Amino acid sequence: MSISSEPKSLRKQIVINLQTQSQIVELNVGGEIFTTTISTLKKHPGSKLAEMFAGGQTKPQMDSEGRYFIDRPGTYFKYILEYLRSNQVPMQCVQNVYKEALFYDIEPLVKQLEDSPQIFGELVARKQFLARVPSYNENIELMIRIARAEAVASRQSSVMVCVVKTEEDVVKCHDALNGLDTYKKSVVKFGPWKASPGISDLLDCIKMDVEAKGYKISFQSYVPERGFRFKSSDYLYKFMFTWW
């Protein structure tokens, strides 16, 4: 049925709705300005953007220039907007765009990004591995606290880390730590865990997650004093935080 065959009042409402959908709007997203249409923003019903511009109670704020203001990073909103316009899944800044897609609750984009190698590898592989390492996140924070406590008037802080994959290694590491008078009170222990990744994989994860918090860090096998019963590469590693 065409618009012309509808009753006059209904035709008027349809025209108003079409005009509203095609209305051009300006957005201020975290200080960056974007121009688009209401229909583009409402493309996925149920998303936060669709709710913002549906005329309900959830309305965006206005900035001093009369533009709709959204207090989110504008750097990544361009990828969100491009997806709404053309269904193009971004291949750049995938991790950050994924966070924004979650915030705006754009379910199709979230699902497609979760299938990308970057997000799939992080969520399904790395995060699932780290979930099997007891107190992993707590130990990362402990490392940082120890390093910061030793940073006074220093360029670097060192944190001793003991990494053990099996229960048998736990006993051996305990014996090894008994010979470390200097470090044994502040050694951070990771493990044991039941998953295929090895010690070198966990060390890479520790470095990655500490760096993600803004710290400059490196690590090396601990070189023991002569007469020490275990090789330096057995369990003990020294992580260096560089402050300046």
Same domain, 154 and 196: yes
Torsion, Cα of 123, 127, 128, 132 (10° steps):
-170
Q: What is the pLDDT of residues 162-196, one digit of tens each?
A: 999 998 888 877 777 776 655 556 889 999 999 99
Same domain, 59 and 91: yes
Same domain, 31 and 81: yes
Same domain, 170 and 110: no
DSSP-derived secondary structure letter, 89: P
In a domain, 122, yes or no: no
Arithmetic mean of pLDDT, 68-96: 94
pTM higher than the cut 0.75: no
Quick one: which H or E segment has residue 103? Answer: helix 94-104
pLDDT at 73 over 80: yes
Same domain, 111 and 165: no
Q: What is the pLDDT of residues 23-53, one digit of tens each?
A: 899 999 999 999 999 999 999 999 999 998 8
CA dist 96 → 92, 93, 105, 110, 172 (Å): 9, 6, 14, 12, 42
Both tokens of residue 212?
Answer: 């993600």
What pLDDT is stored for residue 177 in this prediction? 74
What pLDDT is stored for residue 169 in this prediction? 85
What pLDDT is stored for residue 9 in this prediction? 54
DSSP-derived secondary structure letter, 229: S
Q: What is the pLDDT of residues 204-240, one digit of tens each?
A: 999 999 999 999 999 998 876 655 555 545 788 999 9
Instruction: For residue 223, report the phi and psi dihedrals to the nearest 5 degrees.
Output: -95, 110
Number of domains in the chain: 2
Residue 49, Cβ density class (10 Å: 0-12 exposed, 13-18 middle, ≥19 buried): buried
CA dist 176 → 35, 48, 222, 229 (Å): 63, 55, 12, 7
Same domain, 164 and 105: no
What is the Cβ-side half-sphere exposure of residue 94, based on CA atoms within 13 angstroms? 16
In a domain, 61, yes or no: yes
Same domain, 54 and 92: yes
What pLDDT is stored for residue 188 in this prediction? 93
Angle, alpha carbons 20-21-23 (nearest 5°): 60
In a domain, 121, yes or no: no
Same domain, 235 and 141: yes
Q: What is the pLDDT of residues 93-121, one digit of tens each?
A: 999 999 999 999 999 999 999 999 999 99
Same domain, 23 and 78: yes
- State the pairing for strand pair 32-37/61-62: unpaired
In a domain, 96, yes or no: yes
Q: Which domain holds residue 238?
A: 136-242
Q: What is the pLDDT of residues 110-154, one digit of tens each?
A: 999 999 999 999 988 999 999 999 999 999 999 999 999 999 999
Same domain, 92 and 156: no
Give the C-alpha separation, 68 to 194, whole Å.
50
In a domain, 130, yes or no: no
Q: 94: domain CATH number?
A: 3.30.710.10
